Structure 1
Amino acid sequence: MSETPPPQPLLDDQALDLLDDFLDSERAGEDALDIIGAHGLLVALAVAPREVPAATWISELFHGEPAFADAAERETILGLLERLRGNAIAALEQGLLPELPFELTLGGVAAEETPIGDWCAGFMEGVFLDEAAWFEDDEEAAATLLLPFMALSGLFDDEPDMAEFIAEPREAERLVVQLPELVLDLYLHYRVPPEKPKPAPRKKKPAGHGDKRRR
């Protein structure tokens, strides 16, 4: 029996540190997402049912235009963000799980007070960029698949049903552990069309059928 491959890093440590430093700097702007939220948003874009223009998601991620030092820095930072999204697509296409930038445990802390909540909030920001596309084909299935991300994000705490969904600590922990698998489930739902049933083979006609000759 083959072992499940380990989750795939979407960027190496050096690249993540470079992005982290920039997003945490004044040049990114005080409203820019941090590395955790940006990671969540870009993974959502890798899953999304249709492409979101780069200008749209860049504006959402930074909530404005960053003060890049020069064109080279702009190319480097935006290139790393695009590479993270592309690596997520490549991993999911192969049926691999994405590595998330945090430990998969709440440790008894409310989700919205942890990086897990920040990542899920970033993921949901990616959903909101083109919400209609996520829900247009099968709203019920989409809501079911997105429910864990919504509940853990802390963005819907004013909805009683959402808070109740993760009120039990063990249930919340179970969902956190499953986040990489839930991402893959969403990707398969949106990006991999169901297989069409193979057509039944035609029955062969008996030899000579339909070839009656006059005598």
Structure 2
Amino acid sequence: MNTPKTDWPSSLDDNELDELDQYLRAHVGEGELLLDGVHGLLSALTVGPMQVLPEEWLPEVLHEPFADEQEGNRVLALLAKLNDSISAELDVDAYEPILGEVETEAGPVLSAAGWCEGFSRGIDLRAGLWEKRLADDPQLMELLGPVMALAVDEGILNADAEFEKLSDDEYDECLSQVPSVLSAVNQYWNEHPATEAELEASVRPDENEEPPTTPPRQRSGHWVH
């Protein structure tokens, strides 16, 4: 049974976002996700082809034991609220990606690097399913175009061909399209659910198997906030 919208958790307020951000910063290692990356990860799972349970995505976010039960319960509650808010925001066209900042000569500017890194890791959790559908249906790749462009621009995805860096205006335009991209991808999977054959390929590869190669991915190294 669907949960009524009135029962859905609201988005995190500024104090809650800051609290979760500070926790993640205090417990992050090299290459691990900060708040923007966690939001990207959960966004990919929300609009993706099948449910991914917290037991599977939490190891992508939390890497150290909690100091105590109270801290653990609080962090898990904030993550659950962040996760639940994404679908609610998409439903009412209120979604906004959480972005980091990078320092430039002109001062700090918003960066989609962390969000895109998280989004790509969310896709990785069902890599076989995503890759098969992307290969079979160019419509899905087209829908993801602005997000893919940002990810390539930030060095998170490798382009098949030589890729010219986005201009500032093009970058901002792609950023502005992220909410509509997620709504469209969510609708796509609702209207074109995964087939049984695709579901068989959706299990995460074993450690002994070759890692997925489409699309190739790099760590951005672009983590200045």
Same fold (TM over 0.5): yes
Aligned partners of 2:56 and 2:155: how far apart in 1? 21
Q: CA deviation at 1:146?
A: 2.2
Asked which structure has the greater CA Rg, the reply is: 1
Provide the rounded CA distance (Å) in 2 between the counterparts of 1:182 and 1:140.
15
- Judged with a 3 Å threshold, the aligned counterparts in structure 2 of structure 1 residues 17 and 168 are, in CA distance, closer, same or farther, namely closer
How far off is 1:78 after superposition?
A: 1.7
- Deviation digits for residues 147-177 of structure 1, max 9, x if unmatched? 322221224564254733x534433321111
Question: What's the CA shift for 1:51?
Answer: 0.9
Q: Determine the C-alpha separation between the residues in 1 that align with 2:113 and 2:30.
A: 19
Distance (Å, rounded) in 2 between the aligned partners of 1:87 and 1:129: 20
1:178, CA displacement in angstroms?
Answer: 1.4
Mean alpha-carbon deviation: is it higher for 129-138 or for 172-181? 129-138
Question: What's 2:115 paired with?
Answer: 119
Check 1:160–1:29 CA distance in 2 against 1; reply closer, same or farther (3 A cut): closer
Name the counterpart of 2:11: 10
Q: Is 1:142 aligned with 2:140?
A: yes
Aligned equivalent of 2:97, options 85, 97, 100: 100
CA distance in 2, matches of 1:184, 1:134: 17
By how many angstroms is 1:41 displaced?
A: 0.8
Task: Measure how far apart 1:29 and its partner are.
Answer: 4.2
Shift of 1:38: 0.8
Matched residue SS, 2:75: helix
The answer as to whether partners of 1:97 and 1:181 remain within 8 angstroms in 2 is: no
1:53 paired to 2:53: yes
Deviation at 1:19, TM superposition (A): 0.5
TM, length-normalised to structure 1: 0.69
The letter for the 2-side match of 1:191 is N
Distance 2:117 2:105 in 1: 19
Q: 1:158 to 1:42 in 2, by over 3 A?
A: closer
Looking at structure 2, the residues matched to 32 and 120 of structure 1 have their Cα atoms a distance apart, in angstroms, of 13
Identity %: 30
C-alpha deviation, 1:50, in angstroms: 0.4
Query: Which SS does the other structure have where 1:24 is aligned?
Result: helix
Separation of aligned partners in 1, 2:75 and 2:163: 36
**What secondary structure does 2:112 align onto?**
helix
Query: Which has a greater percent of strand?
Result: 2
Residue 31 of structure 1 deviates from its aligned partner by 4.5
Q: Distance in 1 between matches of 2:46 and 2:158?
A: 29
Q: 1:139 to 1:108 in 2, by over 3 A?
A: farther
Aligned length: 177
Relative distance call for 1:136 and 1:160 in structure 2 (3 A) is closer
Residue 152 of structure 1 pairs with residue 150 of structure 2: yes
CA distance in 2, matches of 1:173, 1:90: 24
TM-fit CA distance, 1:144: 1.8
**RMSD across aligned positions (CA):** 3.1
Runs of 5+ consecutive residues of structure 1 not aligned to the other structure: 1-8, 195-215
Work out whether residues 40 and 119 of structure 1, in 8 Å CA contact, stay in contact via their aligned partners in 2. yes
Q: TM-score, normalised by structure 2?
A: 0.66
Corresponding position of 1:197:
none
Q: Which residue is equivalent to 1:77? A: 75
Seen in structure 2, the aligned counterparts of structure 1 residues 15 and 178 have a Cα distance that, compared at 3 Å, is same
